[in-house]
Amino acid sequence: MRETVATRSLPRDRCDALTSPRPLRRAHFPETTLTEAGAVTQVSWQSVFYFWGFFGFCWTALWITFSASRPTEHPFISQEEVAYISYHVQSKVWACIAGHTAFNWVIYMLLTELPSFMKVVLGMELAASGRLSGLPFLTLFVTQTAAGMAADWLVKKGHARVGHLLPSDVWLV
């Protein structure tokens, strides 16, 4: 096998999968999400890229149509909303951005590095580590759903007002 910069740091079985002409097996790519893994096994590995490319074009079209650089330039916002946004929202938006950025960093580190850590450091096989790698995301789903339900309950009972609770992303970080 010819060694390249891209394959120099990969384990031998990953290098073989990237450079050999044989069909790729699912076990070589544990980083894919469940949805993408389903698309790869049912259609082809290229379908994942076509889907996200199409989604990106749709999102861009919606963003260009419905967004504006400033609230005063937006065609669907009234003057009362502009005044409220400029007075109340500024610091809360930055707090949400900071919390969501930290949350995303943790999630993407787990998504990309956990399977490799479990294989290289803990010596687990990819199939077993793939199942265990999903546990943090299952926990995330359960805790975010519970946090959302708890926030709704607090607002409904009058113990909190909308906009005065921390987002569930911040609670998890």
Q: What is the 3-class SS of 55-105, one letter each residue?
A: HHHHHHHHHHHHCCCCHHHCCCCCHHHHHHHHHHHHHHHHHHHHHHHHHHH
Mean of all residue pLDDT scores within the chain: 75
Q: What is the pLDDT along the chain (173 residues), one digit of tens a residue?
A: 455 444 455 555 554 444 544 444 444 444 445 556 666 667 777 877 888 899 999 999 999 888 888 888 888 888 988 888 877 777 777 888 899 999 999 988 888 888 888 888 888 887 777 778 888 888 889 998 999 899 888 888 888 776 554 554 444 44
Q: Which of 1, 11, 25 is nearest to 115 (CA)?
A: 11
* Dihedral, 22, 27, 30, 36 alpha carbons, nearest 10: 70
Which residue in 126, 134, 152 sits closest to 14, CA to CA? 126
Q: What is the pTM of this model?
A: 0.41
